[in-house]
Structure 1
Amino acid sequence: MAGFRVQSLLLTGSDQGIGLGLVQRFLELPQPPPLIFATCHHPDGPEGQALKEMAACCSSASDLVLLQLDVTDPHSIEEAVRKVEERTAGCGLNLLINNAALTCNTSLESETAQSMEAAYTTNTIGPLLVCQAFLPLLQRAAWRSFQGGMSCSKAAIVNISSSYGSLSCCADSWEWKQDVSYRCSKAALNMLTKCQSLAYGPFWGILCVAVNPEGVKTHVGAEQDTLSIEASTGGIVQVLSGLSAKDSGTFLDWRGQTVPW
């Protein structure tokens, strides 16, 4: 990973769990991104405290910028785009990581239209709107890059998905946790990733991939959560450092192994 060099990245849902862990892992790189945009609903509130502490400890090699971003609010997305465009000064955005997610912890019997709508709005529609809004900045980064092919250093969209969105793996965890709305929204996110790879890859050279961080020990806490955030996020950054055109449109886990659709 010594040669992994991303000039700018934006991460949604970065105030806790996988998002916060990814921010930390990028800051720990031998060559951390000069610009990291860490976004969450309320960066000035208590939930943004950990990010503020990270920002205060940043070396001169990296600038951690905290931004307000609600992936369900088009106006919030537009404002974030405006601020990122100002800070990147015409260079575009190299890496967009859609991590913000909502789980409703429902069963098939308790699932409602409201919980299904909430899950889709955050987990599928949110990444769609964020990618659409930031696409011009990703295109600019790809156009300005001297690199051939595709990579996360050039221009990439990474959608943090889940094995719960895999049709093939559905039965593996069904008895433990149904969460139908979450499963359906993540399956839809996987399809969105595939569509993005077909639309943004051939002409613009923007790499698009879905990544499964696996069940990790987060603030939620669960019996099946066995992988540490440090291990998962460290693995994800390692995987991102080696992605190329052959990986665009795929579904990978934190170790770089293919997850069945």
Structure 2
Amino acid sequence: MAALRARTVLLTGSNRGIGLELVKQLLGGPRPPAWIFATCRDPEGPRAQELRDLASRHPNLVLVKLDVANPSAIADAAKIVEGKLNGAGLNLLINNAGIYAQVSLETVDSDEMIRTYKTNAVGPLLMAQTFLPLLKKAAQNSTEKGLSCSKAAIINISTVMGSIEKTPESFCKPVISYRCSKADLTVDTSVRGLLSVLPVLSEKHSGNLLNWEGKVIPW
């Protein structure tokens, strides 16, 4: 498996699930990044204890308070990251933060729709806009050709449920086969797959929806 060579990485939603496992495996990889900025809404809260334990053992791990639905919080986080980078750029932005509610067409309301869109759709856009100058700086300072996660890239963690073509397979209730198949894929396996895909991404993958094995999910 090719190793990810990004020297500076920022992840949102890092205190649990895929985000936390990404932090762990990046730290434990053969070439850990010089800086990993792990963000979450409450880095001092009880849900971030494991993240704080990691930071106490790894000086290259920096915890940053960030709510992707709050533009001013994103701006504040960018200032902290820029200060730590001390003139260097940001190689990799991983938009992982997201919220999921057990609502149906009959039960969802406008407040829930707006809350979810602000975090899952608008949040990654605001993150990309705010951190674009640091990503451009990393790209300008890199000697690598073309696009890559080692040069400068934005990765948006999505889901097969974002595929319109796959809607009949994932939207039907109770979706027993989908839930059972998901239960067989652990967070560890998922992240190992993600980290094997990131190093091989290039211009031809831009805009694609890929699964953890690097296979294209139809949009």
Q: Give the TM-score taking structure 2 as reference length.
A: 0.94
Structure 1 partner of 2:20: 20
- Whether 1:99 and 2:96 are equivalent positions in the alignment is yes
The answer as to 2:106 corresponding to 1:109 is yes
> 1:153 is matched with which residue?
150
In the TM superposition, what is the alpha-carbon distance from 1:228 to its structure 2 partner? Answer: 0.1
Residues 1:90 and 2:87 aligned together: yes
**What residue identity is the alignment partner of 1:169?**
K
Residue in 2 aligned with 1:238? 196
Q: Residue type matched to 1:230 in 2?
A: D
**Matched residue SS, 1:33:** coil
Structure 1 unaligned runs (5+)?
A: 179-214, 216-221
**Distance of aligned partners of 1:173 and 1:105 in 2 relative to their CA distance in 1, 3 Å threshold:** same
- Mapping of 1:160-175 within 5 angstroms? 160-175=157-172
Q: How far does the alpha carbon of each residue in 1:195-254 deviate from its partner, in whole angstroms, 9 at most, with x for none?
A: xxxxxxxxxxxxxxxxxxxx8xxxxxx655321000000100110011112111211100
Between the aligned partners of 2:3 and 2:104, the Cα distance in structure 1 is: 45
RMSD value, Cα: 1.5
8 Å contact from structure 1 (residues 102, 123) kept in 2: yes
Deviation of the 1:142 alpha carbon: 0.5
Q: Tell me whether 1:256 sits opposite 2:211 in the alignment.
A: no
Sequence identity percentage: 46
Q: How many residues align?
A: 216
SS at match of 2:38: strand
Letter in 1 for 2:91: N
Confirm whether residue 119 of structure 1 aligns to residue 77 of structure 2: no
Deviation at 1:4, TM superposition (A): 2.9
Distance change (3 Å), C-alpha of 1:167 and 1:5? same
Match of 2:65?
68
Amino acid at match of 1:238: S
User: Alpha-carbon deviation of 1:44?
Assistant: 1.0
Q: What is aligned with 1:189? A: none
Q: Which has the higher contact order (CA 8 A, sep 6+)?
A: 2
Paired letter, 1:8? T
What's the secondary structure of 1:30's corresponding residue?
coil
